[in-house]
């Protein structure tokens, strides 16, 4: 039985907020995909092709699991940053709300209030009328370079915060290949936004040349890699989570020389 139901904000043609070349709808779906991938059957991921606000989906949702709706904020105000949790005005935050607010504030600080009450948000009200255990979370400001860097470069860490709060063990993490950590391995690799420097760069379903090609990137396209890496077949392999498939995908960043090189296939830009 699922311990957490995850809804992604915006989508179905609505990009939400934007900043730094990213959209809110795409980023929260990348986060949701990692929560699902790491949480397995204990996480139920709501249909990511929908706009749950526009189609009123919460009014018809049948679940006994606590619900989290993922968003990112935007303000246009220089220096605004940080994550917080939104609950229905008049409701007392429960143990999930408090734990999530505390951990997110430590991960992505900057908000004056970790928990905020609202009465005008449609899905907040819909969930309250249905008696659904619900909260909306702003995972930082997408127009904050500081928050984007933390979100993009530490996506799995952020996903694990949600799993820990709702009592879910990140079971799939133990089945991943042995790999280095961000910035600390012999390759000097770190997560973030990377730009493709070659005409075609294959995306594979395993980190190595034996993996099947499932997609490709082309020159000047960008991809956000998490902080995981592996050296295999003479290359440094990075990974990301497919926004549509929710599956881990792997790309060769460059030759395994022990440091970033000018002729790497992917060059970090952020």
- Round to whole Å and give the CA distance between 22 and 153: 14
pLDDT at residue 65 in the model? 98
Q: How many CB atoms lie within 10 A of CB 158?
A: 23
Strongest mean pLDDT among 91-100, 141-150, 198-207, 241-250: 91-100
Residues paired with 19 in a beta bridge: 22
Note whether 224 and 152 are within 8 A (CB). yes
* Residue 120 burial by Cβ neighbours in a 10 Å radius (0-12, 13-18, 19+): exposed
20: which residues sit within 8 A by CB, 6+ positions away? 142, 143, 145, 148, 270
What topology does CATH give the domain 176-268? SH3 type barrels. (2.30.30)
125: which residues sit within 8 A by CB, 6+ positions away? 88, 119
Q: Tell me if the domain spanning 4-172 has CATH number 3.40.50.300.
A: no
Residues paired with 11 in a beta bridge: 14
Question: For residue range 25-43, what is the model confidence (pLDDT) as tens digits?
Answer: 989 998 998 899 899 999 9
Tokens representing 129?
Answer: 């009328």
What are the sequence ranges of the domains in the chain?
4-172, 176-268
Its pTM stands at 0.68
Please tell me which residue, 177 or 147, carries the higher pLDDT value.
147
pLDDT at residue 178 in the model? 37
Question: For residue range 118-137, what is the model confidence (pLDDT) as tens digits?
Answer: 999 999 999 999 999 999 99
pLDDT at 5 over 90: yes
pLDDT at residue 47 in the model? 94
Q: How many CB atoms lie within 10 A of CB 156?
A: 20
pLDDT at residue 235 in the model? 85
Please tell me which residue, 268 or 173, carries the higher pLDDT value.
268
Asked if the domains at 4-172 and 176-268 fall in one CATH topology, the answer is no
Strongest mean pLDDT among 30-39, 92-101, 146-155: 92-101
Distance, CA of 182 to chain centre: 17
SS3 assignment for 72-132: EECCCCCCCCCCEEEEECCCCCCHHHHHHHHHHHHHCCCCCCCEEEECCCHHHHHHHHHCC
The β-bridge relationship of strands 213-218 and 200-204 is antiparallel
């Amino acid at each position: 039985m699922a311990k957490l139901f995850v809804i992604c904000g915006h989508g179905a043609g609505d990009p939400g907020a934007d900043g730094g070349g990213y959209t809110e709808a795409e980023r929260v779906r990348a986060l949701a995909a990692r929560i699902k991938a790491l949480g397995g059957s204990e996480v139920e991921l709501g249909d990511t092709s929908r706009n749950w606000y526009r189609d009123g989906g919460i009014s018809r949702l049948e679940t006994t699991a606590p619900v989290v709706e993922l968003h990112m904020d935007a303000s246009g105000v220089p220096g605004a940053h940080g994550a917080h949790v939104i609950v229905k005005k008049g409701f007392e935050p429960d143990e999930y709300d408090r734990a999530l607010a505390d951990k997110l504030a430590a991960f992505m600080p900057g908000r004056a209030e970790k928990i905020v009450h609202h009465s005008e948000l449609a899905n907040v009200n819909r969930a309250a009328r249905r008696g659904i255990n619900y909260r909306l979370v702003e995972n930082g400001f997408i127009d904050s370079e500081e928050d984007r860097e933390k979100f993009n470069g530490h996506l799995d860490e952020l996903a694990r915060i949600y799993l820990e709060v709702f009592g879910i063990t990140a079971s799939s993490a133990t089945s991943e290949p042995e790999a280095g950590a961000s910035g600390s391995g012999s390759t000097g690799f770190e997560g973030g936004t990377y730009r493709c420097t070659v005409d075609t760069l294959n995306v594979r379903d395993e980190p190595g040349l034996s993996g099947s090609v499932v997609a490709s990137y082309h020159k000047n396209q960008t991809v956000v890699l998490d902080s995981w890496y592996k050296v295999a077949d003479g290359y440094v392999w990075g990974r990301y989570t497919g926004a549509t498939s929710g599956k881990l995908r792997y790309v060769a960043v460059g030759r395994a020389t022990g440091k970033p090189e000018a002729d790497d296939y992917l060059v970090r830009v952020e």
